[in-house]
Amino acid sequence: MKIPGIASAVPLSLVFLALMVLGSYGRAQVSEQMTPLLLAVQDAPVPFTGSDGRVHLVYELEMTNFSSAEILVEKVEVFDDGVSLQTLDTTAVAERLQPAGMRESVGTLARSTRALLFLNVVLAPGAKVPAELSHRVALRVSAAPAGQQEFDQSGGKTTVDRRPVASIGPPLRGMRYISADSCCDAVRHTRAALPVNGRVWVAQRYAVDWEQTDAGGHIYAGPRDKLESYAIFGQPVLAVANAVVVSVIDGEPEQTPGNYPTNIPLDKADGNSIILDLGHQRYALYAHMQPGSLKVHRGDKVQLGQVIGLVGDTGNSVVPHLHFQVTDGPSSLSSNGLPYEISEFQVTGATAGTKAFDEAESNGTPLPITPVAPPHTVKQAMPLDQLIISFAPH
Ligand SMILES: [Zn+2]
């Protein structure tokens, strides 16, 4: 194979890259460019209003390095009809780009690697919701000839999914709840992309692990390994809408708080759990409840606010908490997370972040909280990550 300017002995990978930088040879009627980084969006974002009053577009931009060389992703821009909505610089990309099956993020994609860039596009106040999004990515391909290593690539067009967002009631009642690992930049739920039944799903995209503090800011007081030490243990769990029960799992034993359970099979990870059919292809999952506390059966109709169980520590759970999520299917893993908006709640504070929360949860020390005074009443919004929240009655 003879390529102008390239020695015939060079590896095929470099020929490939040379083709990319040399462009077309004039035979094709349309302009052709090698695009070693393939961009795609599998699940269109569903816009929703967060408790910050802003509209968020949360989705994953899939990147495939279809080459035999490393690619550094230097910049990613998100566009609405040619207008830039968000720019991620090299550092921001490196915090949000995760190779398939990895929990660690990277800035450089190894050869032949597929990855997801987890995006949270926050619209300016009052801005119209885009109909379609597109992307421009600035790359550095180290194996390309000097001076031709950096170039831009566009792709990953997606529509914006304008299906109505579920409006629901609160899953709990009372004060001082923590919206742990909620949307949109926390990693443990929003980035839980899992290959199940032949497809990648992000069922936990908008999941929350609800925890609670006592009046002194402690997540637990007393022995760490005792269920009753935890402020949230035994709190009533509420139906978030008039709904039909489609799945009930009961009989799973409590874990010992503070210990990560081992060898939990996939079908027992939710512990004692309930899935409600909210209608319009939306399903609410409640996980980790107390054994024997589930008050409903498959096929039952429940009413908004009805107590359906008690908060426990069953399944894949390290401390008592309520895992709550809404998805587009009646399963906890092979479905896609959907946003929802809670009709009304109060934000009374914000924690110092996930790291501080993890420390308070481990050590039983007071959770550092910046109060919101007076408390901020929020209507029709999703509680964002690491807020202190009261639900009526409070
Ligand atoms: Zn969870």
What confidence tens digit (pLDDT) does each residue in 278-323 have? 999 999 999 999 999 999 999 999 999 999 999 999 999 999 999 9
By three-state DSSP, how is residue 133 classified?
Answer: strand
- Cα(353) to ligand 1 centroid in Å equals 16
- Cα(316) to ligand 1 centroid in Å equals 9
Global pTM value: 0.92
Per-chain residues with Cβ under 5 A from ion ligand 1:
209, 323
- Cα(323) to ligand 1 centroid in Å equals 5
- Cα(111) to ligand 1 centroid in Å equals 33
Q: What is the mean pLDDT of the chain?
A: 92
* 249 contacts 314 by C-beta, under 8 angstroms: no
Q: What is the pLDDT of residue 315?
A: 98
**Confidence band (pLDDT; 50, 70, 90) for 27?**
low
- Cα(309) to ligand 1 centroid in Å equals 17
- Cα(386) to ligand 1 centroid in Å equals 13
- Cα(76) to ligand 1 centroid in Å equals 29
- Cα(376) to ligand 1 centroid in Å equals 25
- Cα(159) to ligand 1 centroid in Å equals 29
Cα dihedral across residues 324, 379, 168, 161: positive or negative? negative
Q: For residue 169, what are the contacts with CB-CB under 8 A and spacing of at least 6?
A: 238, 239, 240, 241, 304, 305, 342, 343
**Confidence band (pLDDT; 50, 70, 90) for 7?**
very low
Residue 16 predicted with pLDDT over 60: no
Q: What is the DSSP code (8-state) at residue 290?
A: P
- Cα(378) to ligand 1 centroid in Å equals 23
- Cα(149) to ligand 1 centroid in Å equals 42
- Cα(385) to ligand 1 centroid in Å equals 12
- Cα(209) to ligand 1 centroid in Å equals 5
- Cα(261) to ligand 1 centroid in Å equals 14
- Cα(394) to ligand 1 centroid in Å equals 24
Q: What is the pLDDT of residue 360?
A: 97
Q: What is the pLDDT of residue 235?
A: 98
- Cα(242) to ligand 1 centroid in Å equals 23
Assign residue 181 a region (left: φ > 0; alpha: ψ between -120 and 50; beta: otherwise). Answer: left
Provide the percentage of residues in the chain whose pLDDT is more than 70: 93
| C-alpha torsion angle, residues 101, 106, 108, 109 (rounded to 10) | 10
Q: Is 310 exposed, middle or buried (0-12, 13-18, 19+ CB in 10 A)?
A: buried
- Cα(362) to ligand 1 centroid in Å equals 16
- Cα(137) to ligand 1 centroid in Å equals 32
Q: For residue range 141-173, list pLDDT tens digits in order.
A: 887 778 888 999 999 999 999 999 999 999 999
Q: What is the pLDDT of residue 216?
A: 96
- Cα(207) to ligand 1 centroid in Å equals 6
Average pLDDT score over residue span 41-69: 97
- Cα(154) to ligand 1 centroid in Å equals 35
Residue 233 predicted with pLDDT over 70: yes
